[in-house]
Structure 1
Amino acid sequence: MRTGISFLLSLFACFTVFNLQAEEAPKKFNIGIGTYAMTIAYTDSFFIDDDFIGSSFNASYAISNNIAIRGNLYSMTHDDFSSLDVDGVDIAMLFGSGLENLGFKAYLGGGIFNEDWKALGATESFSGLQLNGGIGYNWDAVSLDFMLGIRETSDYEDFLGADAASVSSSLSLSLRF
C-alpha cells in the first residue's frame, strides 16, 4: 500500500514539475511597426480638411490582462500638400480584455499626444488629450492591432481660427515577448 501511495505521489510530483515547465510566462511587451493616419475636419467650409498618412513605431507593456500602456512614434505627410510633415508621439493607458493573453483583445483608454507640423522651414507644435479604443489579436509571437483616437482640438482651432474635429487611427503588427 505504501509503495502504491509513494508511486502515486512521485507520479503527481513529476506531472506537476513538467506542467510548470510547460507553462510559459505571459508575454507582456510588444514592439512593432504600422501605419498611422489622422484627419482634421473643419466645420467652416472655407477650410479644406487636413488628411495625413504615414508610418509608426509602437511599443506597449501589459501590466495585466486588463491594463496596458501603449506609445506610438509617428511620422506623416499631408495628402494634398507633400511639403507639410507631421512628427509626433502619443501615449495611452488602456483598459480592456485580452491585453496579454493569446486571442482576441479589445480596449478603451485615454492619453496625450504631442506633434510638430513642419512646412517650408516653419514648425508649429500641437498637443492635447485623446480618447482611444481598439481591437486586436495576440498570437504566440505576434500581435495585430487596430486603434482609433479622438483628439482634443483646441490647439488646432487656436492656430487656424476654425472649429474642428480630429481622429487618428493606426494599424500595427508587433512582436510579443
Structure 2
Amino acid sequence: MKTIIKGTLLLSTLLLGSQVYANELDTINTTNWSLGVGSYAFSLNNTDDSSGDLDFSGFNISAGYAVNNNFQIRGTYFNLENDDYSTVKSKGFDLMAYGGTGFSRKGFRGYGGAGLFSDKWSAPGESESFSGIQLGGGLGYNWGSIAIDLVVNLRQADKYEDFMSRSGTYIAAAGNLSLSYLF
C-alpha cells in the first residue's frame, strides 16, 4: 500500500509540476473526458466487534465523461489485496453519477452522487461476488488538463453481511485518490 501511495504522489508531483508553465489565457476551455489512475482502499467494519473488520488496498483506473461543468458519469475499476491475508483479492468496479462543480473547467471540484458497485472476492479455491448501490462524494482540483480527486463512497453494507462470520452492524466504505488526464 505504501508503494502505491508513494507512486501516486510521485506521479502527481511530476504532472502538477509540468502544469506550472501552462498557458492561463483561455480559462473558458472545457474538457469532457477523463482518464485516471490512483490508489484505492475498501474497508468493511463491524461497529460491534472490530476484530471482524476487513481492509483491502490497491490501485484503480477510472474513466469519466462530464456532460457539463456540473454533471459527470464516472466508471472506476479497482484491483485490491486484503491487508491481513494476501491470498484474498478483491476486483470490481464502481459506476457513479455525480452532481457538483468543476468537472470540465479549471478550479475547485466538489461533488456528490449515487451509483452501483460490483465486487468479487477471491481466495485459492473459492470466490464470492457482491453488488449493490452506493452513495459517494469527492473533492479535488482541476488544472485544465490534469485533475486530482479524493473520493469516498458508502456501499450497501448488507450485501456483505451474509459473508461475515461475526454478527453485528457493518459499514462498507471505499475511498480513492486519483490523478486524471482531462481531454
Q: TM-score, normalised by structure 2?
A: 0.81
Identical residues among aligned pairs (%): 37
How far is the alpha carbon of 1:84 from its aligned partner?
A: 0.4
| 2:173 matched residue in structure 1 | 167
Equivalent position amino acid for 1:169 in 2: G
Give CA-to-partner distance per residue, 1:83-129, whole Å, 9 cap, x none: 00000000100000111110111000010100100011211000111
SS at match of 1:90: strand
How far is the alpha carbon of 1:25 from its aligned partner?
A: 4.2
Q: Distance in 2 between matches of 1:23 and 1:56?
A: 29
Instruction: Note the 1:99-138 alignment, pairs <5 A.
Output: 99-138=103-142
Mean Cα displacement is larger for which, 129-138 or 159-168?
A: 159-168
How far is the alpha carbon of 1:43 from its aligned partner?
A: 3.1
Equivalent position amino acid for 1:105 in 2: R
Q: Distance in 2 between matches of 1:58 and 1:140?
A: 17
Equivalent position amino acid for 1:158 in 2: D
Whichever of the two has the greater Rg, that structure is: 1
Q: Distance in 2 between matches of 1:26 and 1:45?
A: 48
Q: Distance in 2 between matches of 1:25 and 1:147?
A: 25
Q: TM-score, normalised by structure 1?
A: 0.83
Gaps of 5+ in 1: 1-21
From 64, 68, 76, the equivalent of 1:60 is 64
Contact 2:161 2:170 (C-alpha < 8 Å) held by counterparts = yes
How far is the alpha carbon of 1:44 from its aligned partner?
A: 4.0
| 1:26 matched residue in structure 2 | 30
| 1:157 matched residue in structure 2 | 161
SS at match of 1:81: coil
| 1:45 matched residue in structure 2 | 49
Query: Is 1:81 the equivalent of 2:85?
Result: yes
Give CA-to-partner distance per residue, 1:26-82, whole Å, 9 cap, x none: 111110100000110013428421010000000111011111001100000000000
**Closer/same/farther in 2, CA of residues 79 and 36 from structure 1, 3 Å limit:** same
Q: Distance in 1 between matches of 2:47 and 2:149?
A: 31
SS at match of 1:159: coil
Equivalent position amino acid for 1:98 in 2: G
Name the Cα RMSD after superposition. 1.6
